[in-house]
Homo-oligomer: A and B are copies of this chain.
Amino acid sequence: MASTAVQPRALSSTVLLGLAPVASWFIVRPFLDPVPSLPGLFISIGFSLFAFMATLYLVPALGPTFIKAHLSGRDLLKVYATPIPESLGLVCASVYILALTLFIPFAFSDSLTARSTQTPEGISVPEFPHSRLSLYLSSLLSLLMATILGFLDDVFDIRWRHKLPIPIIASIPLLMVYFAERGNTHIVVPLPLRFLLGSLLNLGPLYYLYMSLLSTFATNSINILAGINGSEVSQALIIAISVILNDLLYLPWPIGFHLPVHLLGSKAEVEFGGVWSAGMAYGSKELVERHLFSLYFMLPLVAVCSGFMYHNWYPARAFPGDTLCYVTGMAFAVVGIQGHFSKTLLLFFLPQIFNFVLSCPQLFGLVPCPRHRVPRFDAGTNLLHPSKAMFMRPPSKLAATVLRIFSVFGLVELTLHPSGVILETTNLTILNFFLVRLGPMNEKRLVQVLICSQICGSVLAFSVRYGLAGLVYDGDRR
């Protein structure tokens, strides 16, 4: 049992071989007449399918090499101690970045974009989009830096307090190019504050701070919601799919749709699709291109995450390491910043925000923080129980108050001394919270609960973004 459990998961070569012609068709299609209206998107889908196949194949193939290079660990929540290859997020990141690199000529090649940027009146924009190419390259640089830093983190095992600010380094290329290009540092002020600040506010240097903090948050918030098989990659997958769904609203669909969001309290209906100039983009080519840019980065990300999830699913045959969190987090920051929809993006991070807020007392030293906060594994029943942090000395007044409030809301379970002093608390993570609320369950069920919460978060995010945002922003908010 022990040894078979860590055999690489079987791959169906029929699936792999069957996908290849489909992927090839997507890449070839834009070169055939009639040229589709968004040729780059076709090629991006084709590349993503190839990236999916490559990840699916390479992760088990390279596992032994990683184990040989001391990049392995045992699964803490299993009965067996066989080493599982670690840091295979590096393979995902490499495939992802290679796909994005090979895509460069197709995202901007004028032979393709000249057709796609034609207005309905037939006026084409002949000039090469150098500026967008620079943004694309700076995004790629940041992703590559995130990959290196994540892998260094895996190799050198940097302590988590030291690694919190590391993503800021990876965001430097993004910021530098934004600065060199004299990027826009204005934000739209919400309606209730306009009497005070006007409708546009120039944040100046603060905007750069905001951008670098966004990448830090996106990276670390995924990283601290980790520890069980499939947790990191499933978060990344669902956030990426949410971003893609949001992007699709802005594309020039040949047919029109209406969403009945007035049921959610919005005054205006959400329309998307229709002719080129219709839909959520409201005729803004700029907006369509921002969301195309986002799609180009998200489609291959979904591809490598799906491919990796197959091997990382319970019981995991490969671990992602920090590399995966760094790359996926940076990818989200990149599309949020370059696509100018960072607030919408943050809405897709609701479970991560919840987990982060819940974790704060432990992250900032108010409550003792053990090396691992993953749930406790009971080998006898194969169930996970909430893990606990013990107070070596009585908690400070502030810590006790915070924990009692958490306890009232059912976020933690406290162990009290008869005198009322807190002796132990369940660790402050969303995973332990689930176990406290829903009772002990096995690891597979727990990751399914996590996935459900992420999906519910995204549904809520869409309702807020397209239902309630009209209350604080103008109708034509981008």
Contact = CB atoms under 8 A, between A and B. Distances in A.
B173 A128 contact: no
Interface string A137-164: 1101100110110010001110000000
Interface string A167-181: 001001100110111
Interface stretch (A102-110, A364-372, A377-385, A406-414): A102-110
Contact of A141 (B141, B148, B151, B182): B141
Interface in A182-227: 182
A180 B69 contact: no
A290 to B, nearest CB: 18
B141 A130 contact: no
A71 B180 CA distance: 38
Contacts of A176: 101-102, 104-105
Interface in A229-264: none
A155 B321 CA distance: 16
A137 B144 contact: no
Contacts of A137: 134, 137-138, 141, 173, 177
5 contacts: A69-B156, A101-B173, A104-B179, A128-B182, A134-B134
A131 interface: yes
Contacts of A177: 104, 133, 137
Nearest to A176: B104
B70 A105 contact: no
A11 interface: no
Nearest to A128: B181
Contact of A180 (B68, B133, B179): B133
A383 to B, nearest CB: 36
A65 interface: yes
Given A69-B156, A134-B130, A104 B144 contact: no
Copies of this chain per assembly = 2
Nearest to A87: B155
A104 B148 contact: no
Contacts of A140: 141, 173
Interface string A91-134: 00010001001101101111000000000000000001011011
A221 to B, nearest CB: 25
Given A69-B156, A144-B148, A147-B148, A98 B172 contact: yes
A423 B434 CA distance: 73
A101 B148 CA distance: 15
Contact of A156 (B65, B147, B182): B65
Contacts of A128: 131, 181-182
Interface in A433-452: none
A130 to B, nearest CB: 3
A158 to B, nearest CB: 9
A308 to B, nearest CB: 18
Interface string A302-318: 00000000000000000
A104 to B, nearest CB: 4
Interface in A70-90: 70-71
A172 B65 CA distance: 25
A156 B147 CA distance: 16
Nearest to A133: B134
Nearest to A94: B148
Interface string A382-411: 000000000000000000000000000000
A282 to B, nearest CB: 27
3 residue pairs, one from A and one from B, having the closest CB atoms? A130-B130, A137-B137, A104-B176
A179 B151 CA distance: 30
A172 B101 contact: yes
Interface string A9-46: 00000000000000000000000000000000000000
Contacts of A144: 141, 144-145, 148
A327 to B, nearest CB: 12
Contacts of A134: 130, 133-134, 137
Contacts of A110: 182
